[in-house]
Structure 1
Amino acid sequence: MQAKLFGRRLMRARKNRQLTQLQLAERIGTSTTTISRYENGLSFPSKRRLSEIAHFLGVKVDWLLTGFKED
């Protein structure tokens, strides 16, 4: 369940930045298949990759994981 919720938040953050899966994948050095698997809750990124994704999308890791923003 957590992977699916993470995937939804990842997709939302990516679309808010008006990025395609290809653009995100190229920026963080992975494949579109991997991004698709993340967004569909079929896979979960490593801590390092999670940090790269959050940094590039301009969101907090905590938000990607929990949906809550740090105050």
Structure 2
Amino acid sequence: MFGEPEPWTPTPAPMAPPIPAAPAAPSKPAAKPAPKASKPKPKARKKAKPKAKAKAKTKGKARGKKKKAKARRRR
């Protein structure tokens, strides 16, 4: 349109020289990535058995009763 546009090429940005790849260890034929340890799955909390539940309930109750009895004796 307005004459020949100047051929403009962006100047390449000055970059660090490419780091040469580290030579592979001669003893190993192929460096395989170590198998990643799988994350342990969160285990669901075990539900208390009804019998154990009842036992725990009485345990707490008995403790409360004991403490109350002790308090009564103190008076």
Calculate the TM-score normalised by the size of structure 1. Answer: 0.21
Q: Which has the higher helix share?
A: 1
Q: Which has the higher contact order (CA 8 A, sep 6+)?
A: 1
